[in-house]
């Protein structure tokens, strides 16, 4: 069985995160966007499986709220409940910091992610129409979800 660890992301690891981002997402963030989501207002975590970064979460905190901007698990590690473990740890750490609500947006078509969020008590709050770009140049709705920590 693999040894799993969850740790803060180091800014020097952005290239490693970018390779996961590129493999895991339909329309991935750029390396520059990843690098721009660091600093004191962020609570970013990585999950390691046998000392290999398997996934990450990018989260911004503002006062008693946080927004999960990005979560990704490399396809080689999907289906092992690492996304669940990572998000659960993030939520626990945010709660300890005094964060009351965690917000996120998810592609309407991403049923696996929506199922994960629902397991962790996220509720649908609203729909943002035509929010996400698709590879064919069209747009897809985003479902806005929130969990009370």
Q: Which residues are annotated as a binding site for acetyl-CoA?
A: 71-73, 110
Question: Does the CA dihedral 95-12-2-24 come out positive or negative?
Answer: positive
Q: Greatest CA separation found in the chain?
A: 42
Q: Which residues are annotated as a binding site?
A: 71-73, 110
Rounded-to-integer distance, Cα 143 and Cα 129, Å: 9
- Choose the catalytic residue: 105, 131, 132, 140: 105
- Catalytic annotation present for 65: no
Q: At residue 1, does pLDDT exceed 70?
A: no
At 12, is the pLDDT very low, low, confident or very high (cuts 50, 70, 90)?
very high
Angle in degrees, CA 6, 7, 9, rounded to 5: 130
- Choose the catalytic residue: 11, 15, 108, 117: 117
For 92-139, how does the pLDDT look when each residue is reduced to its tens digit (9 = 90+)? 999 999 999 999 999 999 999 999 999 999 999 999 999 998 888 899
Q: 23: which 2 tokens?
A: 């493999």
At 2, is the pLDDT very low, low, confident or very high (cuts 50, 70, 90)?
confident
Rounded-to-integer distance, Cα 31 and Cα 132, Å: 18
* pTM of the complete model: 0.94
Strands (E), the chain: 4-8, 45-49, 52-62, 65-73, 101-107, 123-133, 139-148
- Catalytic annotation present for 105: yes
Q: 4-148 — its CATH code?
A: 3.40.630.30
């Amino acid at each position: 069985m693999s040894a799993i660890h969850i740790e803060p992301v180091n800014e020097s690891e952005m290239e490693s995160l970018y390779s996961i981002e590129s493999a895991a997402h339909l329309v991935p963030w750029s390396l520059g966007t990843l690098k721009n989501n660091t600093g004191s207002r962020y609570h970013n975590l990585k999950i390691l499986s046998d000392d290999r970064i398997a996934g990450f979460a990018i989260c911004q905190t503002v006062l008693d709220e946080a927004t999960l901007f990005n979560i990704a698990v490399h396809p080689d590690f999907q289906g092992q409940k690492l996304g669940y473990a990572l998000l659960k740890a993030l939520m626990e750490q945010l709660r300890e910091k005094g964060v009351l609500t965690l917000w996120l947006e998810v592609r309407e078509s991403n049923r696996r992610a929506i199922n994960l969020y629902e397991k962790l008590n996220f509720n649908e709050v609203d729909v943002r129409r035509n929010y996400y770009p698709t590879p064919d140049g069209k747009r897809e709705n985003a479902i806005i979800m929130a969990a009370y920590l």
